[in-house]
């Protein structure tokens, strides 16, 4: 390893860890093979640069933690991106609905104005004479009295017409005000979405740059370290005896959701994606439950906030496991202590140990 690389790894140690999305092992329950530090002779054809010194396991562990930090920050930003996108879509729908109401209200107002104009013209044709004058000029007092009743009805109708015009004008002002407020929210969420996208791209680029500076042999050892970390977490979770208490049977909807999620195994992770070719973690779970006939929130954080929470011991296939303190990752329990999830950029949808990451809680759609 070059001096520059040692400097990069040393710098990695100083980064404060956020929320992690560990790379899931290919076999969630099989212990990874021992990983002794190989002895590399400078200049040999082992994938390393001639004259470089291979990184120690301690240095690679620092890199692993740094990668965890970067990908966890990317996952958190992805949730913010998805939430902003969902809110922006809602606001766009609201604006369209308000615009339709404004058009309809304007058409109604135009019709009311036409009717008011017609009433004013009719009044003008009568000459605007007072009722006493019409009585004096009338040859038939009975006919006049009938006409007077119609005039009173017309006056009441005119008052109603004017009142309806006033209400319609007020409604139009309110619709316009609401549309303006929704537009401001839309713009704010567009900015939030753009900021989240920038953060995601920065974190993923930094992680890819860090990994690109590792030699082939070091990347292989790094993958082993990731497997070991996930395996140790899963083993500790199973050793707690939690699996002895989990025996819930899946519902028909739960089985459908699990079937959909597991059929996506092998497809790449992509932030913000909801299929059918790529998914992010909450995109996978939300689409799986959509396939089962239930609409659930799009993001892991909203899934945690809005869905019914259940004890881990009551967990059954189809339930969603929320990970990390900020609820930035989610997987779907499939039974036997395993879950299916879309791990992180550079990884594909896979089966992993349900306890291979810190569990925040379990929710049920």
Residue 341 appears among annotated catalytic residues = yes
Catalytic one of 6, 90, 134, 341:
341
DSSP character at residue 313: G
Rounded CA-CA distance 156/258 in Å is 66
How do beta strands 329-335 and 338-341 pair?
Answer: antiparallel
Phi first, then psi, for residue 99 (nearest 5°) are -60, -40
Among 6, 17, 160, 281, the one annotated catalytic: 281
Distance CA 271, CA 84 (A): 13
329 in catalytic set: yes
Does the active-site annotation cover 281?
Answer: yes
What CA–CA distances, in Å, run from 330 to 102, 240, 302, 354?
Answer: 42, 22, 11, 10
Question: Do residues 74 and 66 make contact, with C-beta atoms less than 8 angstroms apart?
Answer: no
Query: Tokens at residue 60, please?
Result: 């690679």
| Residue 341 exposed, middle or buried by CB count within 10 Å (0-12, 13-18, 19+) | buried
Catalytic one of 6, 17, 90, 329 = 329
Strand arrangement, sheet containing 308-310 = 308-310, 359-364, 320-323, 329-335, 338-341, 350-353
Q: What is the DSSP letter of 18?
A: -
| Catalytic annotation, residues | 281, 329, 341
């Amino acid at each position: 390893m070059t001096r520059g690389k040692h400097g990069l790894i040393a710098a990695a140690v100083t980064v404060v860890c956020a929320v992690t999305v560990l790379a899931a092992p290919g076999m969630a329950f099989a212990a990874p093979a021992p990983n002794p530090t190989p002895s590399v002779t400078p200049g040999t054809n082992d994938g390393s640069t001639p004259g470089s010194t291979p990184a120690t396991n301690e240095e690679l562990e620092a890199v692993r933690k740094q990668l965890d930090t970067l990908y966890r920050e990317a996952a958190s930003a992805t949730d913010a991106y998805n939430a902003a996108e969902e809110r922006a879509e809602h606001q766009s729908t609201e604006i369209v609905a308000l615009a339709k109401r404004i058009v309809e209200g304007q058409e109604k107002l135009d019709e009311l104005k036409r009717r008011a104009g017609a009433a004013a013209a009719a009044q003008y044709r009568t000459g605007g004479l007072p009722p006493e004058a019409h009585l004096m000029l009338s040859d038939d007092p009975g006919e006049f009295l009938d006409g007077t009743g119609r005039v009173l009805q017309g006056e009441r109708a005119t008052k109603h017409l004017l009142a309806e015009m006033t209400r319609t004008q007020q409604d139009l002002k309110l619709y316009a005000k609401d549309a303006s407020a929704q537009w401001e929210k839309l713009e704010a969420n567009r900015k939030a979405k753009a900021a989240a996208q920038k953060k995601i791209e920065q974190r993923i680029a930094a992680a890819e740059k860090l990994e690109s500076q590792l030699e082939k042999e070091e990347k292989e050892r790094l993958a082993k370290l990731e497997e070991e970390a996930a395996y140790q977490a899963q083993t500790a979770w199973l050793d707690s005896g939690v699996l002895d208490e989990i025996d819930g049977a899946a519902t028909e909807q739960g089985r459908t959701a699990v079937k959909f999620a597991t059929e996506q195994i092998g497809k790449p992770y992509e932030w913000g994606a909801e299929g059918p070719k790529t998914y992010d973690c909450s995109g996978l779970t939300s689409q799986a439950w959509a396939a089962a006939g239930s609409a659930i929130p799009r993001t892991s954080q909203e899934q945690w906030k809005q869905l019914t929470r259940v004890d881990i011991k009551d967990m059954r296939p189809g339930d969603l496991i929320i990970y990390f303190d900020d609820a930035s990752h989610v997987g779907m329990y499939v039974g036997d202590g395993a879950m299916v999830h879309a791990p992180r950029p550079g990884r594909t949808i896979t089966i992993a140990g349900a306890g291979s990451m810190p569990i925040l809680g379990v929710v049920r759609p």
